[in-house]
Structure 1
Amino acid sequence: MYVSEWENGKRTISDRYALVLRQLLGVTDAELREGPPAASSLAADGYDDLLSRIESANSVGPAMVRAFEDQTELLRTMDRQMGASALVDQMAGHIHALEDALNFAVLPSARRPVALALAGASTLAAWQAIDSGAVERAWRHYELAKRAARDAEAPMYLAHAMAEQAYVLCEAGRPALGLELVRDAQCSLGQGGSSRLRAWLHAAEAELCAHAGLPDDCLRALDAAQASIPPGPEDRDPDMLSIFLNDAHLGRWRGNVLALLGDGEAVTSLYSALEVADPSFVRAKAGLHADLVQAHLARAEYDEANTHLRQARLLASRTGSVRQRRRVDLLSARL
């Protein structure tokens, strides 16, 4: 009698019976209370839904993967111009769709391209989360990116996700541990990967060395980055679309690192980078002005520092960057 009443919605399932039925039917509490409790019905519905999802995932071919990658590229462009705060829901939906496609793809030939797209999208989502101050979400996105990179058998994407994840540790006040992670990323890549990615990894190592108080290691890593960067104005890595790095970008990064060390040469590098800065990289430009504040403060040039502080604050507010605003506030306290 109870089963009939449960099926017809005339009686709710008590917690006592729910405990027995969950063990008998092998379902969660939510599945039990939301769906029909009959074992045969539950099993059939579950397999039908599973097979439907598998069929949908298997229909994700090259054209669909390109559409996913195009969406990531659009979100990347919007992020660098507008900031991450306006893109949280769009990014979450994009990651969910990619993760769903990967979870139900069966054969490696179907999984690898989706996993690669997910690895790239997840590192972007993670960096956006860092910028928004959502550090736990950033960490989880990096873990997802690393799993996807392993699934895709893509060591470049794995190394990139590991090295970016080190910034979460640095922001949390553990730069030495972050440095270890960057160096592990370099070891995982070995002699493979593009020269542009290797230069990027050396520059990330230099920045983490500066935060960890290792000036000699920092300068060696900067030299290694300069030696690895390909010549010419091209900044995009065709094999690693998350990487934007050329001599101009590296000059800005070098200035940032030297400013962290309190090196007077930082000002020259940073002004050179400001002259050639891509105006579409709005958040990066906010960081560049903040670097100049730090560099001028190291030289006790307070008027110049104030000028760049105003620009940094304006651009950080424009992009909604919690990370940059926090840095601006810390620099402001030193003036």
Structure 2
Amino acid sequence: MSNGLKGARTGRGWSQDRLVYEMLRFAEQRLLDIASAASLKTYISEWENGRRSVTDRYASILRPLLGVSDTELRGAAHLEEVQVDGYSDLLSRIDAAGSLSESLVPSFLAQTELLRTMDRQMGAAGLVDQMAGHLAAMEEALTFAVLPGARKPIAVALAGASTLAAWQALDAGAVDRAWRTYEVAKKAARDADSPLYLAHAMGEQAYVLAEAGRPRLAIELTREAQCTHPERQSPRLRAWLAATEAELCAADGQEAEARAALDRASSLLPDDGELRDPDMLSIFLNTDHLARWRGNVLMKLGDGAAMDELYNSLGGADESFVRASSGLHCDLAQAHMARGELDDARAHLQKARLLANRTGSVRYRRRVELLTGHL
């Protein structure tokens, strides 16, 4: 409990006083009755030192504020298990799963889409409870769905939602949760016999490895994803995977491999004007997005052409991709720093910081602070 709360607080760069302020503001906006600032300061100290347990009332405030799950905040809940007849309980769960109407899976997909939109525009921190409940409902349905015809559509829905939840966890700095949720996504994709969702989960999971300091292993995982039944992958997914490989190779200093992968992504991307893959709505990639990706890769390679690509991307950026805009400003700051244009770099870092704070992105906050330290 103490490590969970303190780690989440410090990972966000907040002091105990800042957490008190955020809790009071959260409560005021939602008309919640909570303790005074002085009492909250005492509570936080006692929660972090293990002298007081976080109650459900305050956990419901801390989870969305800090972007953590209940287990990460205070440890696994100690729930009393009701002992019932094993077969009766099993059959009731199977019957409940079997009674899923065909309209429920589209409801799962619609809920995922809503959470994806909210995440893209507002960040993941406030969605932890909703996403956890969403995944739990689908995992429960899949666990007790017996026949393949009933299991497959649920598994597809779970695979898509799990990759979103894992990326949200990575953005919030919850690395262990991110890794485990990607494993859930991969298992669901295999259950659904979907190479598309399996390859996508592997490609995103590679970023966890890269950021953990294992870039070569990350590149290998991305290449394995591209070899996962490529004949059954959509062209847009293949382009996305190639661009992912390009970014990871560039970060590792493998210039020739990065440029080759980037060229492959350009050749694979359909020139159809579409933003999303109709076969896999988790993929957002068109020529504008790929240009942004190209700028990122060229920036990592120290190529002067990166600046034009990045500014072109900034001019045509979709304002609904708030968190991605923070990354774009980080790239521009880094490109300006490489040219010694420090005032321009500071201006972009300020914009990146504001957007990272707006979405609660621990991942981009860390990048902003790292770049700021080099100014």
Report whether the alignment pairs 1:268 with 2:308: yes
2:144 counterpart letter in structure 1:
F
Match of 1:84 in 2: 124
Match of 2:292 among 252, 266, 283: 252
Matches of residues 198-213 of structure 1 in structure 2 within 5 Å? 198-213=238-253
RMSD over aligned CA atoms reads 1.4
- What is the CA-CA distance between 1:326 and the residue it aligns to? 0.3
SS of match in other structure, 1:241: strand
- Is the CA contact (8 Å cut-off) linking 1:132 and 1:321 kept in structure 2? yes
Q: Sequence identity of aligned pairs in percent? A: 65
Instruction: Specify the code of the residue in structure 1 equivalent to 2:165.
Output: A
Q: Which has the larger radius of gyration?
A: 1
Answer with 78-87 or 292-301: which moved more.
292-301
Instruction: Select 1:300's aligned residue among 340, 352, 365.
Output: 340
Q: Please point out which of 208, 211, 231 is paired with 1:191.
A: 231
Q: Give the TM-score taking structure 2 as reference length.
A: 0.78
Which residue pairs with 1:53 in the alignment? Answer: 93
Alignment partner, residue 24 of structure 1: none
Question: Hey, what's the Cα distance between the residues in 2 that align with 1:197 and 1:65?
Answer: 23
SS at match of 1:188: coil
CA distance in 2: counterparts of 1:98 and 1:47, whole angstroms: 22
The CA distance in 2 between the partners of 1:158 and 1:224, in whole Å, is 21
Question: How far apart are residue 34 of structure 1 and its match?
Answer: 5.1
Unpaired runs of 5+ residues, structure 1, are 1-29, 37-41
Q: Aligned partners of 1:199 and 1:164: how far apart in 2? A: 14
CA positional deviation for 1:189? 3.0
Partner of 1:133: helix, strand, or coil?
coil
Provide Cα deviations, 1:252-279, integer angstroms capped at 9, x if missing partner: 0111111111111111000111111110
What's the counterpart of residue 366 of structure 2?
326
Q: CA deviation at 1:231?
A: 1.0
Aligned to 1:6: none
C-alpha distance in 2 between matches for 1:70 and 1:110: 18
1:264 alignment partner AA: G
* Structure 1 equivalent of residue 216 of structure 2: 176
User: Is the Cα–Cα contact under 8 Å of residues 149 and 158 in structure 1 kept in the other structure?
Assistant: yes
Question: Contact 1:264/1:298 (CA < 8 Å) preserved in 2?
Answer: no
Gaps of 5+ in 2: 1-77
- Compute the displacement of 1:233 (Å): 3.0
Choose from 145, 152, 177 the match for 2:192. Answer: 152
Q: Is the 8 A contact 1:160 1:185 kept in 2?
A: yes
Shift of 1:212: 1.7
The equivalent of 2:150 in structure 1 is 110
Letter of the 1:116 counterpart: V
The match for 1:277 is 317
Code of the aligned partner of 1:289: H
After TM superposition, the runs of 4+ consecutive aligned structure 1 residues lying more than 3 A away are 33-36
Q: Are 1:254 and 1:269, in contact at CA under 8 Å, matched by a contact in 2?
A: yes
Provide the C-alpha distance between the structure 1 equivalents of 2:122 and 2:230, rounded to a whole number of angstroms.
36
Q: Which moved more, 1:57-66 or 1:143-152?
A: 57-66
Separation in 2 of the partners of 1:156 and 1:61? 25
Q: For 1:229 and 1:62, locate their aligned partners in 2 and report how far apart those are by CA, in whole Å.
A: 33
| Range that drifts further, 91-100 or 59-68 | 59-68
2:164 to 113, 116, 124: 124
CA distance in 2, matches of 1:306, 1:189: 45
Distance 1:147 1:34 in 2: 27
Deviations 1:173-228 (A, max 9, x none): 11110000000000113233111101000000001101222011000000000111
Aligned length: 298
Distance 2:82 2:330 in 1: 56
Residue of structure 1 aligned with 2:270, choices 230, 239, 248: 230
What is the CA–CA distance in structure 2 between the aligned matches of 1:251 and 1:317, rounded to whole Å?
25
State the shift of 1:60 in Å.
Answer: 1.7
Note the alpha carbon deviations across 1:300-335, whole angstroms, 9 max, x for none: 111111111110000000000000000000110111
Which residue identity is paired with 1:169?
A: L
Task: Tell me the equivalent position of 1:18.
Answer: none
1:296 Cα offset (Å): 1.0
1:95 to 102, 116, 135: 135
Cα displacement (A) at 1:61: 2.9
The 3 A distance-change label for structure 1 pair 325 and 35 is: closer
Q: Give the whole-Å Cα distance in 2 for the aligned partners of 1:86 and 1:163.
A: 25
The one-character-per-residue Cα deviations of 1:46-100 (angstroms, maximum 9, x if unpaired) are 2111111101111223200000000000000000000011101110000000000
How far did residue 35 of structure 1 move? Answer: 4.6
2:11 match: none
Q: C-alpha distance in 2, partners of 1:147/1:223?
A: 31
